[in-house]
């Protein structure tokens, strides 16, 4: 579950070197490398809109939609016909953390949250990747491609689509 929650924070980090950004869209590959150097790759697409709305559409290795808002996270898993609804219970200000990101060199920034150091790599004003170690010492790297900034995004995009016949689990 942690692999799903951290992207919510990370989508906001993707704006670390860019000012006046209101929306972000990109394809992504998220790699998780464990202590034995075993790598698990996830891929999909993200659509994000200020202040804290995001839709992570995972397509590989399984289909999964993760809807994020300041109040909740809704995970729709078609392959097991299940929806998980989780309330967000944090006062964490994502954009405050982004503003704290320190420029290390021309294309590299660093910031931290709850003892986790995030490295952000840019090319010009475009975020190329975000890397960090999770609480299990797994190395996480999210590489973005086909990035689009400040496109018009309909807020309805972030309203979860939950089929009536799916099991709903509220946490």
Q: What is the pTM of this model?
A: 0.81
Least confident of 78-87, 94-103, 110-119: 94-103
Specify the DSSP element, H or E, that contains 27.
Answer: strand 23-33
Whether pLDDT at 63 is above 80: yes
CATH of residue 165's domain is 2.50.20.10
Whether pLDDT at 115 is above 90: no
**Where does the pLDDT of residue 91 fall: very low under 50, low under 70, confident under 90, or very high at 90 and above?**
low
* φ, ψ for residue 161, nearest 5 deg: -100, 110
User: Distance between CA atoms of 171 and 169, rounded to whole angstroms?
Assistant: 6
Q: Which two tokens stand for residue 56?
A: 């992570």
Q: How many domains does the chain have?
A: 1
**Where does the pLDDT of residue 2 fall: very low under 50, low under 70, confident under 90, or very high at 90 and above?**
very low
Q: Are 35 and 97 in contact, with CB atoms under 8 Å apart?
A: no
Range of the domain at 17: 2-170
Average pLDDT over residues 120-139: 88
Q: What percent of the chain has pLDDT over 90?
A: 51
């Amino acid at each position: 579950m942690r692999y799903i929650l951290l992207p919510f924070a990370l989508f906001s980090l993707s704006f670390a070197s860019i000012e006046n950004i209101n929306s972000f869209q990109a394809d992504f590959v998220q790699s998780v490398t464990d202590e034995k150097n075993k790598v698990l790759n996830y891929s999909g697409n993200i659509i994000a809109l200020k202040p804290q709305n995001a839709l992570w559409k995972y397509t590989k290795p399984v289909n999964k939609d993760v809807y994020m808002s300041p109040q909740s996270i809704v995970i729709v898993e078609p392959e097991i016909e299940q929806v998980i609804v989780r309330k967000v219970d944090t006062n964490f200000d994502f954009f405050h953390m982004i503003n704290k990101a320190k420029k290390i060199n021309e294309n590299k920034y660093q910031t931290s949250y709850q003892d986790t150091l995030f490295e952000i790599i840019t090319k010009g004003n475009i975020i190329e990747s975000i890397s960090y170690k999770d609480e299990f010492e797994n190395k996480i790297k999210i590489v973005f491609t086909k990035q689009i900034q400040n496109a018009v995004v309909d807020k309805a995009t972030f309203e979860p689509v939950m089929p009536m016949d799916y099991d709903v689990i509220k946490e």
